[in-house]
Chain A
Amino acid sequence: MWDYTDQVMDHFRHPRNVGVIDNPDGKATVGSLACGDALTFMFKLGEDGKIAEAKFQTFGCASAVASSSALTEMVIGKTLEEAEKITNREIAAYLGGLPDQKMHCSVMGKEALEAAIHNYRTGEESVVQVHEEIVCTCFGVSREEIERITRENNLHSVEEVTNFCKAGGGCGMCRDRIQEIVDEINHSAAAAAAPAPATKKMTVLQKIKLIEQTLEEQVRPVLRKDGGDVELIDVEGDVVRIAFRGMCAGCRSAAITRDNLIATALHEFVDPAITVVME
């Protein structure tokens, strides 16, 4: 069984504000039967502009029901501007926390709230933009959503993204793409946080030594498996001249090998400005 808190079990066993509102001011459904969880959320505003009534219907597991129920309690009495600021983490915290794999239930609550407010303001049914890139086709999760969840919750791995929004938890085809998105966000966050390290000035001799060392450690072991080898001919500024030996010489895939293997290694370990030229 899941390690649910007493608050989760209480909201699951005794869900608050179940049902529908006649003529709601805002209403939205997120999720679907196929996904395994779905939430219909609606609210009505009072004369003071605050949410007077909120109701929900949920198809899903115990934590999905509890998150929906918690959401309705949290928004009642708030203005839309205040309600909008509620994050999925606050929904989870209201319940005393959720298991990692169930964080997506709190995200579903946050999304339903956003969509219902959007529905009130624009009359539109859905906030999902058609031009958005859908990354996870199993659960219909867009790039924007993955980026936002990654930023807001400081996520680093595909597993964490799956826990928070289910993306990548179906067929798994999109897992590499999700990792790219997560890496991009983390890299740009790290770049913004720390100033770029000053480039080390190397002597020509140091540079040649480093290139030779990189070829020995990173490149030759791979080429030798196929009976090939590589020789460093010359270094002029950032231009590195290389010749292939053995089985590699004259091989049609040599150019591809050079680009992918040698350039990548030299860029990483010596200098990103290097251009590789084959003799």
Chain B
Amino acid sequence: MQPLIYLDNNATTRPAPEVIEAMMPYFTESWGNPSSMHAFGGNVARPVAQARESVAAFLGAERPEEILFEGCATEADNHAIFGVTSAWGQPGTIITSRVEHPAVLGPCLRLKEQGHNVIEIGVNAEGLFDLEAYAAALEATPGPKLVSVMWANNETGVIFPIQRIAELGKAAGATVHTDAVQAAGKLPIDLRSVPVDLLTIAGHKMHAPKGIGVLYVRRGTRMKPFVLGGHQERGRRGGTENVPYIIGMAKACELASTALTDGSEKQIAQLRDKLEAGLLATCPDSRVNGCRTNRVPNTLNISFEYIEGESVLYHLSDRGICASSGSACAAGSLEPSHVIRAMGVPFTAVHGSIRFSLSRYTTEAEIDSTLRHVPEVVAEMRALSPFVKH
């Protein structure tokens, strides 16, 4: 069997062996309920409390009780948006961006149906956030306001100026949420200097398993619980704590902190840049989507003109390479990626956009192998295309 080259880390990541190791005792030995009034269960409460402290430290949160463990990042995004807006008791305004993840766009659509005012801020051709339009929207809307803008984009890796977005939002009296799922572990996050009220991260995008998300809620943020029916998470999210995954999440945060300081993340950027330069040099009519100087270090979104993404992915898969596409067919819908379209990418390139996303487990040999295979696939697909002048 050919080796697997996994370059789809914005979709999900390999669970770190250290994370799995840390989790195992909570499946096999310490499987009690932390709320129990006996030592067997109660003893599990302490590691959960320590895990909360680790996650708080990773994010630069002031207190551990600002950390809520949830089922996934989509739940955390839903909790943030519905929790804040339902505490208003009146219609208000939600300001978001046109390139958000569906976990944010979905709840915003529901709120619009319920009579709230939803404003989507656009991006420019490089995928950069339109701060001017955002400031104008803040100024033009009276009444309660929620801002929900992502920290880094999942498809292009483009980083939004979240510090400035939060400062402007707070100055206008808004509650500010950011979906930081694609930023966590790739960029330093310090909530002491970034004044957001709410922040979402996902375990499985940073080498913990699927099934755990975190919602940071700054002390004093007015919001209602989203999952009702339990005293857990101080009544803000009912449901027995998912102990092994909470322990795994904390371990993943510790490992990510180390990787951000020991140079691992720099190495990812070097490999990404090598892949990018190599593909641009060997595949004619290709273009990078998204601002190249303001991106998370692991992401490359590249369009190969005149060919279609799904076909490219299937051929790469046959060669053991895992990537992703903003192409309509690959997404199971008929419309190509809303992110790529919001950037005004020319229609010749929209359907052929491919996303490569690396991790600290990616090796140079894997990048070299990818650089040999991709140009072959692109040439093969172009030989089939009616739009290439042969």
Contacts and interface: CB of A to CB of B under 8 A. Distances in A.
Interface of A: 1, 12-13, 15, 18, 20, 29, 33-34, 36-40, 57-62, 64-65, 101-102, 139, 162, 166, 169-170
Nearest to A20: B390
B356 to A, nearest CB: 18
8 contacts: A18-B383, A37-B329, A58-B385, A61-B329, A62-B310, A62-B314, A65-B384, A169-B333
A167 to B, nearest CB: 10
Contact of B308 (A15, A18, A36, A57): A36
Given A12-B314, A162-B334, A34 B383 contact: no
Interface in B296-310: 306-308, 310
A252 to B, nearest CB: 27
Contacts of B351: 33, 36, 59
B327 interface: yes
A59 B310 contact: no
Contacts of A58: 384-386
Contacts of A18: 383-384
Interface in B328-349: 328-330, 332-336, 347-348
Nearest to A59: B385
Contacts of A29: 386
Contact size range, B: 20 to 34
Nearest to B306: A59
Contacts of A12: 311, 314
B262 interface: no
A33 B386 CA distance: 10
Interface string B271-314: 00000000000000000000000000000000000111011001
Contacts of B307: 59
A214 B67 CA distance: 57
A33 B306 CA distance: 7
B311 A38 contact: no
B386 A39 contact: yes
B29 interface: no
A102 B310 CA distance: 12
B345 to A, nearest CB: 12
Contacts of A169: 333-335
Contact of B386 (A40, A102, A162, A170): A40
Contacts of A139: 334
A71 B288 CA distance: 35
B327 A33 contact: no
Interface in B354-390: 383-387, 390
B12 to A, nearest CB: 15
A59 B387 contact: yes
Given A40-B386, A61-B330, A102-B329, 17 more contacts: A13-B318, A18-B383, A36-B334, A36-B336, A37-B308, A37-B329, A38-B387, A58-B384, A58-B386, A59-B306, A59-B307, A60-B308, A60-B329, A62-B311, A64-B329, A162-B334, A170-B335
Most buried by B among A18, A34, A40, A59: A59
A101 B332 contact: yes
Nearest to B308: A60
A224 to B, nearest CB: 23
A15 B386 CA distance: 14
Contacts of B332: 101
Contacts of B317: 1
A36 B306 contact: no
A108 to B, nearest CB: 12
Nearest to A104: B334
Ranked nearest first, the 4 interchain pairs of A and B with the lowest CB-CB distance are: A169-B334, A61-B329, A57-B386, A61-B310
Contacts of B383: 18
A33 B329 contact: no
B347 A33 contact: yes
Contacts of A39: 386
B334 A15 contact: no
Contact of A61 (B311, B348, B387): B311
Contacts of B310: 61-62
Nearest to B314: A62
A44 to B, nearest CB: 18
B384 A38 contact: no
A36 B337 CA distance: 12
Nearest to A34: B347
A79 B318 CA distance: 38
Contacts of B385: 57-59
Contacts of B390: 20
Given A36-B328, A169-B333, A170-B335, A61 B308 contact: yes
B308 A59 contact: yes
A109 B327 CA distance: 21
Contacts of A15: 384
A15 B314 CA distance: 14
A98 to B, nearest CB: 12
A239 to B, nearest CB: 42
A170 B318 CA distance: 30
B112 to A, nearest CB: 15
A12 B384 CA distance: 11
A200 to B, nearest CB: 42
A33 B335 contact: no
A225 B351 CA distance: 50
Contacts of B387: 33, 38, 59
B330 to A, nearest CB: 8
A36 B386 contact: no
Contacts of B347: 33-34
A15 B383 CA distance: 11
B311 A60 contact: yes
